[in-house]
Amino acid sequence: MNLLRKCVSCGRYSLSAVCVCNSGTTTPHPPKFSLMRKYARYRKSAR
Ligand SMILES: [Zn+2]
């Protein structure tokens, strides 16, 4: 599973833990968690 990571320095997207500018990259938000929250919110508003 390859997550898209974002550089904390230049904001460039990368798949590796270290960006081409030699800065660390981070995942903006865990997709699984945000998807579950979105689902819960939708179900809540539907009722
Ligand atoms: Zn960078």
Residue with token string 């990259």: 25
**Concatenated DSSP letters of the chain:** ----EEESSS--EESSSB-TTS-BEE-SS-HHHHHHHHHHHHHHHH-
Cα–ligand 1 centroid distance for 29 (angstroms): 18
The model's pLDDT over 16-40, given as tens digits with 9 standing for 90+, comes to 999 999 999 998 766 665 566 666 6
Record the pTM.
0.53
Residues flanking ion ligand 1, Cβ below 5 Å: 7, 9-10, 12, 19, 21, 23
Q: Quote the number of domains for the chain.
A: 1
How far, in Å, is the centroid of ligand 1 from the Cα of 27?
A: 13
Query: Which are the contacts of 42, defined by CB distance < 8 A and separation ≥ 6?
Result: none
3-class secondary structure, 13: strand
For residue 40, what is the domain's CATH number? 2.20.28
User: Distance, CA 30 to ligand 1 centroid (Å)?
Assistant: 20
Q: The domain containing residue 37 runs over which residues?
A: 5-46
- pLDDT surpasses 70 at 14: yes
CB atoms under 10 Å from CB of 6, counted, come to 15
